[in-house]
Structure 1
Amino acid sequence: MAKTLKKPEMINQQVGWCGGCGHGIIQRLIAECCEELGLVEKTIQCVDIACAYWSIDTLNCDGIAGPHGRCAAVATAIKKVHPESNVYVHAGDGCSYVIGLSETCFTAQRDVPITMIVVNNGIFGMTGGQLCIATTLVGDKTKSSKAGRSDEQFGKPFDMLEVLSNYDIEYAARGALYDPKHIDQTKKMLMKGFKNQMENKGFSIIEILSPCPTNWKMSPQESMDKLRDENEKIFPVKEYVDRGGVQNG
């Protein structure tokens, strides 16, 4: 029997993301999870001053835009003051793994019971498409690596979830957006992250492989193909840590 899908009521207006951007898919998944878990009134979002910022205007919940790269620290402070709330981060890979690397690591080290959602699109998006030292693939061309990323000059990208797997955290997983199967899998990861928080189980981080057609200079379909054929080879889709279940690192 066909199922009728409706826009989540938590989304209250159109967004400003580029066509084909994955942030909009992620925002919808967040809204669906919060509504299905009955958490809308308890939710506080902490977004970055970058592409994720659009979410602050479009989701009908409390929220704050933290300083660039400092989302995990801001979310930690909010959770300490409002421990009953569903506090989550929506930020990019540059924010979380480069500018805010120490904030992310110390939030994990302290096992703060928030849900951190990291959008891995392999680039600094809002600032015009510069190389992200953590996630830009070797050979990828950006505004700051016009000949393609060279490992001799910039080093190689690294899997931050492998690093965080060494911390005593509740949950770490990576999803992807390139087809319906993986979008559904990503939603289940997000649901687990929110449930963990409501049960006060500790720090959960869900990284999501997401396309950036504008800065990759590709069509939306080409960018989805790149995620599947190239990015996932470096950043595998799987659960890395599930303290309440099995560790798969």
Structure 2
Amino acid sequence: MNKIISKPESIIGITGYCPGCGHGVIQRLIAESIEELGIQDNIINVVDIACSYWSMDTMNFDSIAGPHGRCAAVATGIKKVRPKTNVYVHAGDGSSYVIGLSETIFTALRDVPITMIVVNNGIFGMTGGQLNLATTPLGDKTVSSPYGRNSENYGSPINMMEVLKNYDVEFLARGALFNGKEINKTKRYIKQGFKNQINNKGFSLIEILSNCPTNWKLSPIEAADKVKEVYTKIFPLGVYKDRGEKNE
């Protein structure tokens, strides 16, 4: 019998994501995971004042947008006063690893039981495509590095999974979206992050390598190929830390 696939019921509107952007795929994976776990009536979504902000208009969840870069801190505050609520962050790498680096680090340090989903597209997308000190590959041209990123002026990108795994956190994993196999694997990581929170196990962060065709000035197919050929070499995929049992 053929399986009928429909959109998650939690997605109730159309977003303004650019064509080919990975945020929309991530949004669907989040909604599917939440519905499959049956927790859609007990969710608070914390988004950044950036691309992920669109999900506030699209997802049928209680949502709040914190100041740029402060998602982890806002989510921590919500979790402290509503510990039985499932709180998740949907934010970018600029928010989480640059402007909000301190907030992300201290949330991990305290092992706050939230689910943090970080979209790594190597750039500040919403504000026009500026260089991201944490994730822009060497040589890439951006509006703030028109001659290409070099280590002398801008330093080199950093694998934040390697940094965060030094803390006593529950779960760290990195997925990608460049093909169906990796999308399915990424969904398993997201779902595991929510399972950990349901069981009050501790801090989970899932980073997702995503393409940004608009700011990269590439077609969606070319952008997906860049993620596969360039980004996965700098930011290897897989589970970096799993304090609990083996994932299902």
TM score, norm. by length of structure 2: 0.98
1:81 aligns with 2:66: no
Deviations 1:161-209 (A, max 9, x none): 1000000000000000000000000000001000000000000000000
Matched, 1:158 2:164: no
Aligned residues: 246
**Given residue 92 of structure 1, which amino acid in structure 2 is its aligned partner?**
G
Question: C-alpha displacement at 1:3, in angstroms?
Answer: 2.1
Q: Which residue of 2 aligns with 1:149?
A: 149
| Aligned-partner Cα distance in 2 for 1:121–1:3 | 33
Residue 13 of structure 1: aligned partner: 13
Q: Give the match's secondary structure for 1:239.
A: strand
Distance 2:103 2:181 in 1: 32
Give yes or no for the alignment of 1:107 onto 2:104. no
Compute the displacement of 1:4 (Å): 1.6
Taking the aligned partners of 2:151 and 2:217, their CA distance within structure 1 comes to: 22
Report how far residue 57 of structure 1 moved. Answer: 0.9
- Unaligned runs of 5+ residues in structure 1 are none
3-state secondary structure, aligned to 2:241: strand
Cα distance, 1:75 vs structure 2: 0.1
Q: How far apart in 2 are the matches of 1:181 and 1:2?
A: 20
Q: Does 1:130 align with 2:135?
A: no
Query: 2:115 is matched by which residue type in structure 1?
Result: T
SS in 2 for 1:53: helix
Tell me by how many angstroms 1:136 deviates. Answer: 0.1
CA distance in 1, matches of 2:84, 2:186: 25
- TM-score (normalised: structure 1): 0.98
Q: Distance in 1 between matches of 2:159 and 2:2?
A: 39
Output the CA distance in 1 between the equivalents of 2:13 and 2:111.
Answer: 34
Identity %: 66
Deviations 1:15-58 (A, max 9, x none): 10000000000000000001000011001000000000000110
Q: 1:185 corresponds to which residue? A: 185
Q: State the partner residue of 1:26.
A: 26
**Structure 1 partner of 2:60:** 60
Distance 2:215 2:35 in 1: 32
Residues in 1 aligned to 2:202 and 2:238: alpha-carbon distance in whole angstroms: 19
Q: Which segments of structure 1 move beyond 6 Å, counting only runs of 4 or more?
A: none
Partner of 1:173: 173
Structure 2 Cα separation of the partners of residues 46 and 223 of structure 1: 27
Displacement of 1:154: 0.5
Give the equivalent residue in structure 2 for 1:220: 220
Aligned CA RMSD, in angstroms, stands at 0.7
- SS of the aligned residue for 2:41 comes to helix
